[in-house]
Amino acid sequence: MPEPPVVENNNFSENSLMGLGEGKSMLRVVALNGLCGVTDGVIGSLVGGCPQLQEVHISSTSITNHALTALANLTQLVCLNIGKTQISDIGIQQLVSGGVGQSLRELRIDGCVRLTDDSIESICHCCTHLNILCFHHCPRLSDRSRELVDEYKAWRMKQLTWTVY
């Protein structure tokens, strides 16, 4: 399988990315990390056109909780990287409370400064098959998050990273 092209310039507009998922209903993996045009609208459009997505990498973008509401419809999603975004506990709850909670194996939320221990609790309760969880550099998380992970998940994690403030 050929390697995907590497994009050197991250200055794509929202309009240029809106049609990204059109005609690609079998697309399984998308990596848009750091692209400044990635918005909630782009993610909604992508999810609508690519219902088979299994991996979504959108760290360091301008998404909010609205994008997580759209991503919650991807019942085959196994890997999600939403680190360094402006998501909050409400978005995490919306994401994991549906089918995505059952399918996710890897979740990266590192650097999400608005998340609290409530997000980690939701993840621990809903993501029954999760084996990679990265939540370092989230300053509103406390030692309670580590305790929750120890209680619910630590014994079956392959990778677990966090910072307690």
Residue with tokens 């979740």, as numbered in its chain: 107
Q: Are strands 106-108 and 79-81 parallel, antiparallel or unpaired?
A: parallel
Range of the domain at 85: 14-162
Where residue 125 sits, what CATH number does that domain have? 3.80.10.10
Q: Where are the beta strands (DSSP E) in 27-140?
A: 29-31, 55-57, 79-81, 106-108, 132-135
Residue 106 dihedral angles phi and psi, to the nearest 5°: -135, 130
How much is the pLDDT for 2? Answer: 53
- What confidence category does residue 159 fall into, taking pLDDT thresholds of 50, 70 and 90? confident
The full length of the chain comes to 165
Q: Is residue 6 a part of any domain in this protein?
A: no
Q: For residue 93, what are the contacts with CB-CB under 8 A and spacing of at least 6? A: 118, 119, 122
How much is the pLDDT for 12? Answer: 84
Q: Is residue 53 exposed (0-12), middle (13-18) or buried (19+ Cβ within 10 Å)? A: buried
Q: Is residue 116 a part of any domain in this protein?
A: yes
Helix (H, G, I), strand (E, B) or coil at 106: strand
User: Which two tokens mark 134?
Assistant: 């990265």
How much is the pLDDT for 10? Answer: 74
Taking residues 142-149, what's their average pLDDT? 92
Of 5-9, 32-36, 115-119, 150-154, the range with the lowest mean pLDDT is 5-9
- CA proximity to 130, closest of 111, 149, 153, 98: 153
| 94 within 8 A of 71, measured Cβ to Cβ | no
Q: Is residue 9 a part of any domain in this protein?
A: no
Domain count, the chain: 1
Residue 64 dihedral angles phi and psi, to the nearest 5°: -130, -165
Q: Is residue 4 a part of any domain in this protein?
A: no
Q: Which one of 111-120, 125-134, 151-160 scores highest in mean pLDDT?
A: 111-120
For residue 38, count other CB atoms closer than 10 A to its CB. Answer: 26
